[in-house]
A and B are shown apart, each in its own frame.
Chain A
Amino acid sequence: MSELLQFLFSGVTVGAVYALVALGFTIIYNASDVVNFAQGEFVMLGGMITFAAHAAGLPLPLAAISAIVLTAALGVAMNKLAIEPARGAPVVSLIIITIGASIFIQGAAQIAFGKQIHSYPAFSGDTPIRVAGATILPQSLWVIGGAVAVFIALWLFFTRTLLGRAVLATSNNRLAAQLVGINTNFVMTLSFALSAGIGALAGVLATPITLTAYNVGIAFALKGFAGAMLGGMGNPKGALVGGFAIGLIEALTAGYLSSTYKDAAAFVVILAVLFFMPQGLFGRKSTDRV
């Protein structure tokens, strides 16, 4: 029993990170139909900037906030400089733009921060919390709490605020949204800021557990993308569930089957789910437009 509990702890810790990344994917996708493959770089920057600012003498909370703000600003810059000018380009071109941005950010990070692996102290110490024979680190609770809090905030934002509904309207039909007076450019800018900020938050919270280096982004992006697709791209609930599901599948496979093929298990589940639900678990049913 304690064994299962330990696997579950491991799964939700990692799953919470994936869920945060997946939520970041969701927001940009909702606003622009773009899957932003640079999402993982935001996670990397969150951790790296926090590390650098902390090492430079800033207290940890301040370092974390500055990392989130700076990364959000970078997200806005990316939208203005790379995504907006390409408006109307085919989806595959947009994918390549975001991959180009990802390569660019990585290249800049390796010069700015070097290629060493970094970390900083956990927020509430390293003493594990014991529950029924299993242990979980306080930092894991931070990550899980972060994922849940971001999800709730986004849910409230999208359903209860005018601005949030404007974002959803833009994602459904850009032209119609413009016609009813929604500033779609502002919606895009906001979405990139939010998404980059959430990505950075994931990095800030996870780095004491996962450690960070200039090239960790791609792994986060892949797993987050997989989580978002499993849940159904564009749906925050799907992103949350998908992210946690992938973390749990990995941990349980590693615990009970084979640690070598735990990533394979995650993808096999995704393939199986998509076979029966081509839009993911919570995806919108879309009809082809003629």
Chain B
Amino acid sequence: MKISAKSATLLVLVVLVALSPLLFPSNFYYRVGALIFVNAIAVTGIVILTGYAGQVSLGHAGFAGIGAYACALAPVHWGIHPGLALFLGAGISGVLAYLVGRPILRLHGYYLGVATLGFGILVAMILTNERGLTRGPDGIDVPDLGLRALLGELGLSLSNGQFWYFFTGLCMILGAWIALNLHDSPTGRALRALHGSEVAARTVGIDVAQLKLRAFVISAVYASISGSLLALQNRFVTPDVAGFMHSIEMVTMAVLGGVGSVLGAIFGAAILTLLPQVLTVFAEYEHMVLGLVMILVMIFLREGLLPSILKKLRGKDE
């Protein structure tokens, strides 16, 4: 049953990524798709942190900011290839998450929330104010990843939109695969035990602090890679990527879709990425509708969109 849930998730993702373009009315939808996938990667990290381990972060955009600016700065300052800069950013994010996580993961609930919030704000503030390094609030150009040109030479010619659609789609599936494997690993089981009850987990000999830290570091790496891919795709980045609103967006996507499962969270990312595009028809009422949707989903579909819908479809066999 478990094995099939994992393969089912991956199968659904592969089919969706591969076949959706057949329905695209215009090239614009590749852009939307790529955005969904980039968000989905960050949100998969939130699933590990919040869905598996039960910890809330209001500052994960800070890691996205680090990933994004690594791709903007490392190639210019240290001559590192932008692709490698992505891994460098992920490494920095992971180490930073380890260092920051050790003290703050002792905190619970809202205290953890405000501590992570503070962390995210500090990162955003440094990106905004260290003009000499980051060029400040107006943003900075990001070098070309060069992969599309390489593919072109190999005879696979894709438009910019198509390339980023398939590339980020592939990254998302890879990320989901890793997260699903983690779910079924001993670490994953221990994490979920921790989510159920920290005290109970401790009494059965689980190293709670170490485990939370591991989830925090992994989710930070996901956020960082998501930020890197966004920067590389946009070829431009501003400190907004590390902003409070971006952190909130990540958590909202995950919870709205269903933070308990990778597929649910990715579904949430898709919905919340698409929604602003759809809501443009409401013009100035856009924000009211968005707020209303968030409230209604959380009231009526508490476990998140996807789990609730699936439950309805299956009837009462749960």
- Using a CB–CB cutoff of 8 Å, the interface residues on chain A facing chain B are 35, 82, 85-86, 89-97, 99-108, 110-111, 218, 222, 225-226, 229, 233, 260-261, 263-264, 267-268, 270-271, 274-275, 278-280, 286, 288-290
Contacts and interface: CB of A to CB of B under 8 A. Distances in A.
Interface in B64-120: 103-104, 106-111, 113-115, 117-119
Contacts of A229: 110-111, 114
A275 B103 contact: yes
B295 A104 contact: yes
Nearest to A104: B291
Interface stretch (B20-28, B162-170, B179-187, B244-252): B244-252
B129 A274 contact: no
| CB-based closest 7 A-B pairs | A104-B291, A107-B287, A100-B294, A267-B118, A103-B291, A107-B288, A229-B114
Interface residues on B, range: 35 or more
Contacts of B274: none
A95 B198 CA distance: 22
B256 interface: yes
A111 B284 contact: yes
B174 interface: no
Interface string B222-262: 00000000000000000000001000100110011001000
Contacts of A279: 111
Given A218-B244, A268-B122, A290-B197, 5 more contacts: A267-B118, A275-B104, A278-B108, A286-B108, A288-B197
Chain B CB within 10 Å — which of A35, A82, A106, A110 has the most?
A: A82
Contacts of B206: none
Contact of B111 (A96, A103, A261, A274): A274
Contact of B110 (A93, A97, A233): A233
Contacts of A271: 103-104, 115, 118-119
B217 to A, nearest CB: 18
A103 B294 contact: yes
Interface of B: 50, 56, 103-104, 106-111, 113-115, 117-119, 121-122, 125, 129, 197-200, 244, 248, 251-252, 255-256, 259, 284-295, 298-299, 302
A222 B244 contact: yes
A96 B285 contact: no
Given A229-B110, A275-B103, A278-B111, A96 B287 contact: no
B247 to A, nearest CB: 11
Given A92-B255, A267-B122, A288-B198, A100 B287 contact: no
Given A104-B291, A111-B285, A225 B114 contact: yes
A102 B56 contact: no
A256 B248 CA distance: 33
Contact of B291 (A102, A111, A270, A280): A102
A263 B125 contact: yes
Given A82-B295, A270-B115, A96 B252 contact: yes
